[in-house]
Amino acid sequence: MASLKSREKRFGFGILAAYLTHTAIFWGYPFVWMVMLAFSRWRFVGKPSFVGLANFLRIFQDSNFIRVALNTLNFLAYLIPMLLLSSLLFAIALSKMRYFKTFVVMSFLVANVSSGVAYSIMFANLFAVNGPVNRFVYSLFGFTIPWFNHPQLAIFSICLIVTWKFIGYYGMIIYAGLQAIPTSVFEAARMDGASNWKIFWTITLPLLNPSLITVTVFATTLTFGIFTEPYMITGGGPMMRTTTFLIYMYDTAFRRINPSYATVVAIVAAAMSFSLVMIIRRIFEREVAFV
Amino acid sequence: MRRFWIFTLMLVVVVTFAATKLVFWTAPNPLQEEFWKEVISEWNRLRPDIQIEVSVIPAAASSEEAILTAIAAGTAPDISENIFSGFAAQLAEIGAIYPLDNFKEDFWKLVETRKMRNIVEGWKVKGHYYVLPIYSNPMLFWWRGDLLKQLGYDRPPRTYSEIYELSSKFTKPNERYVMQVIAGRNWWDRWFDFITYYYAASGGKAYIDAEKRKAVFNNEYGLKVTEFIYKMFKENHTAVELGTNPFYFGTILGKITGPWEINWAKETFPEVMPHVWLAPPPVPDDYPADLPVYTFADTKGLVIYENCKDKKAAFEFISWVFSNVEHDVLWIEKTRMPPAREDLVTNPAFAKFMEDRFFKAYAEAVPYAVPPALIDKTIDVQLSMTTHLIEPLMHLKGEPKDILNNAVKEVNKILF
């Protein structure tokens, strides 16, 4: 009996070992290194020297950091409504479809698994001044649209690309939420004489709260992690307006040769993202039960 | 017989394991890669005791990022090329590269043999010479001679006013413009626009005082250049975006470029290249016509890293490559870029290249081509110039003088 127990124990540890080793290498080691970097000054060569809170104090005087934080809010202001609205419309359209549902879903999900570099180049050419979109606009109205050259338009254009990428994925989350609502609820409302509009606002939307909050939280964390599109298309410009936290971290670490400060930027950005998610959940999250 | 084979096998094993193996990274440019592969295979044949393994700098947004990532990961090569002076200053600052003057008379002998005594002075960082300059690319303007002739011109425009006048005959907003004024949004693009125009306007004067760590381009020359760029955008002589290959498709009449584009353009646009006219960058109207026009030198060199397994062997290899003038001849044949040597126009070894009008124009501009300011914060400074100088000018956010003063203030914050 005892030998069976010890064999089970060994087996249990054996299974755990793979996970623990993976965590120690890919999570534990970078975490320890991150803490060391945050409180020291290191420039890729030599040993880190302890500087206390200097890196954290610097962030409050860094106008670039403030610019990037404002940019992130600007991105959020476009991206959250764009993603919520488009994926909600996608989910509703999908629930009304009778045929080719799988084909449509797969078509939208292709965007989600496409290479960021490849589609960024494609969009940059598509929206270029002599690209097909602008040629069409010019032939109709006699002017071109500076998609990536006007500060606000550049943010908007990148949000359009990100929305295109995630509409299928987030749409599926909302679609799952729609499917979870019992049809009896709608039937009861119709019998009481409620219009479609009324049903949507007072039944569908409130009951979709968990799915919508999930999408909002995902979109928020996504915004803090935008990198490929602005890096490839605008290089963080114009006027630094599309410089995101990831671009700033990357530039600070590898162009300014200051990985210590880049680490602190990463920590503060993560804290901001986490706080924002908590605030969103606190304000908008509702408990939903189908009785 | 058996003994002979065993002996041979042992010898092969000993030579293989005893040989010093050095890793050399070349620029991600197929023409340069071709040159280095040829030279290194010759060296490896001659010197089985010091074997060089050649590979291209790994793919990244820029060579600098790839090298820094490799240094951080502990996988840096022993030697690499494609190092610009500002990056060398950064690498020297963090102690990642080895001073070549530590090889004392061997280094100076190489400098004398390759005729680059004055050139190396432009690469001095904190009293040491970390870089062996390989080539110096002056930036020149290419103009569409065929289109200019149609407009009644027999030479490219020289001054800002001549450009405005040419523009009035050619530019049709949203369709075609007189020239590309801004090279792009990357940090290095400032070399090819503002800094080039500044050197041209000022007769090659410094835009940053490296000793005092102070930006000095808010002077009369800086203002003339700033006003020129501003006017070009304000009066629609140029546009923020010009599409792909605008020069070859006739969307613009002129643009700035280096000799690296010659071979590519000859292959890709053979019908355009015979009609290209080369000229120095445009200058302000009051710049004397009889004085030479200065321009920017895109110059790159080679370094030995501090972690190199055998620095002496690495230097031996470098000396062998650059002491032989035939290697520089091969370099020109492969890349069409002028080697960083002072005898380019006088050395008979290079005479045959002077028949190529493109190479000749670039070689003749070498004496008037000025390298960038030797500061360790080049990337940050030029990112700041992009944000605070070029972009406000492109988008007409303020008056040229205010934009210029603000840009200098921002750059000085970085340098301080």
ipTM for the whole complex: 0.70
Give B-chain residues touching A259 at CB under 8 angstroms: 72
User: Are B354 and B210 found together in one domain?
Assistant: no
Residues B259 and B138: their CA atoms lie apart, in Å, by 8
On the question of pLDDT at B12 being above 70, the answer is no
3-state secondary structure of A157: helix
Quick one: pLDDT at residue B395?
87
- Report the distance separating Cα A135 and Cα A146, nearest Å: 12
The reply to whether B380 and B282 lie within a common domain is yes
* Euclidean distance between CA atoms A265 and A224, whole angstroms: 12
Place of tokens 């993976």: A22
Give the mean pLDDT of B240-258.
Answer: 90
Q: Considering only CB atoms, which chain B residues are within 8 Å of A125? A: 244
B151 and B255 belong to one structural domain: yes
pLDDT higher than 60, residue B296: yes
Find the helix or strand (DSSP H, E) in which A42 lies: strand A40-43
Q: For residue B10, what pLDDT is reported?
A: 67
Residues on chain A touching B64 (C-beta within 8 angstroms) = 254-255
In this complex, is the C-beta atom of B383 within 8 Å of any C-beta atom belonging to chain A?
A: yes
pLDDT of residue B145: 97
Q: How many angstroms away from the CA of A149 is the closest CA of chain B? A: 7
Distance (Å, rounded) from C-alpha A289 to C-alpha A284? 16
Q: Which residues make Cβ contacts (< 8 Å) with residue A110, sequence separation at least 6?
A: A168
DSSP-derived letter for residue B101 is: G
| pLDDT at position B11 over 80 | no
CA atoms of B98 and B109, how far apart (whole Å) = 18
**Rounded CA separation B275/B248 (Å):** 11
Q: Of A4-13, A246-255, B324-333, where does the model show the most confidence?
A: B324-333
Q: Does residue B384 share a domain with residue B308?
A: no
The CA distance from A266 to A14, in Å, is: 35
All residues of chain A having their beta carbon less than 8 Å from the beta carbon of residue B397 are 239
Name the residue among B292, B189, B167 with its Cα closest to residue B237: B167
Helix/strand/coil for A234: coil
- A133, A231, A255: best to mutate for the B interface, most B CBs within 10 A: A255
> How far is CA A182 from each of CA A289, B125, B380, rounded to the nearest angstrom?
11, 74, 58
Residue A251 sits at the chain B interface (C-beta within 8 Å): yes
List chain A domain ranges: 2-54, 62-284
pLDDT for the residue numbered A161: 97
Are the beta carbons of A129 and B94 separated by less than 8 Å? no
Which helix (DSSP H) or strand (DSSP E) does residue B13 occupy?
A: helix B2-18
What is chain B's mean pLDDT, rounded? 91
Instruction: Please enumerate in sequence order all residues whose Cβ is within 8 A of that of B180, keeping only pairs 6 or more positions apart, or say none.
Output: B238, B242, B246, B247, B252, B254, B255, B256
Question: Which residue type occupies B104?
Answer: K
Q: Within this chain, do residues B317 and B219 fall inside the same structural domain, yes or no?
A: no
Distances (CA, A) of A87 to A160, A166, A182, A211, B207: 13, 8, 21, 11, 52
Q: Closest CB to A128: pick one of B94, B241, B380.
A: B241
Question: What pLDDT is attached to residue B53?
Answer: 95
Do B355 and B399 share a domain, yes or no? no
Closest residue on chain B to A256 (Cα): B380
How many residue contacts between A and B have a Cβ separation below 8 Å? 79
pLDDT of residue A227: 95
Record: contact A129-B65, CB cut-off 8 A = no
Rounded to an integer, the average pLDDT of A175-187 is 93
State residue A173 phi and psi, 5-degree precision: -65, -45
What pLDDT, on the 0 to 100 scale, is given for residue A291? 64
Query: Do B65 and B214 fall into the same domain?
Result: no
Q: Which pLDDT does position B13 carry in this prediction?
A: 57
What is the token pair recorded at B182?
A: 């801004």
- Which of A38-42, A232-236, B247-251 comes out lowest in average pLDDT? A232-236
Residues B304 and B224 grouped into a single domain = no
Q: Which helix (H) or strand (E) holds A29?
A: helix A29-38
The percent of residues above 70 in pLDDT, for chain A, comes to 99
Name the nearest CA neighbour of B243 among A133, A164, A160.
A133
Count how many Cα atoms sit within 13 Å of the Cα of residue A1 in the half-sphere of its side chain: 0
Give the CA angle between residues A123, A125, A127 to the nearest 5°: 65
Using omega within 30 degrees of 0 as the cis cutoff, is the peptide bond preceding A238 cis? yes
Cβ of A135 under 8 Å from any chain B Cβ? no
B89 touches A: beta carbon within 8 Å:
no
Pairwise pLDDT comparison (B60 vs A233), residue with the higher score: A233
Residue given tokens 């049709």 in the structure block: B172
B142: β partners: B255, B278
Mean pLDDT over B284-308 rounds to 94
Whichever domain contains B35, its CATH number is 3.40.190.10
A1: confidence class by pLDDT, cuts 50, 70, 90: low
DSSP codes joined into one string, B127-184: TEE--EEEEEEE-EEEEEHHHHHHTT-SS---BHHHHHHHHHHH-BTTTBEEE-----
CATH code reported for the domain at A62-284: 1.10.3720.10
Domain count, chain B: 2
pLDDT value of residue B17: 54
Residues, chain B:
416
pLDDT tens, B104-138?
999 999 999 999 988 888 788 888 999 999 998 99
Same domain, B218 and B309: no
B348/A131: higher pLDDT: B348
B243:A129 CB<8 A: yes
Tell me the pLDDT tens digit for each residue of B371-387: 898 888 888 899 899 98
Task: Name the token pair of A11.
Answer: 């087996």
In angstroms, the CA A129 to CA A149 distance is 10
Name chain A contacts of B380, Cβ cutoff 8 Å: 255-256
For A187-241, what is each residue's pLDDT tens digit? 999 999 999 999 999 999 999 999 999 999 999 999 999 999 999 998 887 888 9
Nearest residue on chain A to B64, alpha-carbon basis: A255
Q: Domain range holding B394?
A: 138-296+374-415
Same domain, B219 and B325: no
pLDDT of residue B240: 82
Closest CA to A131 of A112, A111, A157, A155: A157
Residue A130: pLDDT band by 50, 70, 90 thresholds? confident
Query: What pLDDT, on the 0 to 100 scale, is given for residue B18?
Result: 64
pLDDT in tens, A238-277: 888 999 999 999 989 887 888 999 999 999 999 999 999 9
- Residue contact B387–A254, C-beta within 8 A: no
Q: Mean of the pLDDT values across residues A144-152?
A: 88
Q: Please count the other Cβ atoms lying within 10 Å of the Cβ belonging to residue A258.
A: 21
Q: Which residues of B touch A257 (CB under 8 A)?
A: 68, 90, 94
CB-neighbour burial class of residue B37 (10 A; exposed 0-12, middle 13-18, buried 19+): middle
In 3D, which of B236, B138, B234 has the Cα closest to residue B179? B236
Peptide bond into A230 cis (omega under 30): no
Q: Of A138, A235, A255, which has the smallest distance from its Cβ to B185's Cβ?
A: A235
Q: Mean of the pLDDT values across residues B294-314?
A: 94
Q: Which of A108-112, B259-263, B305-309 has the lowest mean pLDDT?
A: B259-263
How close A203 comes to chain B (CA, Å)?
A: 48
Confidence class of residue A170 from pLDDT cuts 50, 70 and 90? Answer: very high
Q: Which residue's structure tokens are 């803490």?
A: A35
Clarify whether residues B242 and B288 are in a common domain: yes
- The residue of chain B nearest to residue A137, with distances taken between CA atoms, is B174
Mean pLDDT for the stretch of residues B165-174 = 92
| Cβ pair B95:A146 closer than 8 A | no
- Hey, are the CB atoms on A257 and B94 less than 8 Å from each other? yes
Nearest to A237 among B95, B239, B386 (CB): B386
- pLDDT, mean of residues A171-187: 94
Two tokens at A287? 């408990």
Q: Cβ of B401 under 8 Å from any chain A Cβ?
A: no
Q: Which residue of A has its CA nearest to B185?
A: A235
Predicted local confidence at residue B16, as pLDDT:
55
Contacts of A46 in chain B (CB under 8 A): 94-95
Q: Are residues B387 and B362 in the same domain?
A: no
Residue of A nearest to B376 (CA): A256
What average pLDDT does this structure show over B388-405?
94
Q: What does the pLDDT average to over B147-159?
A: 96
Tracing tokens 């023409």 back to the chain, one arrives at B31
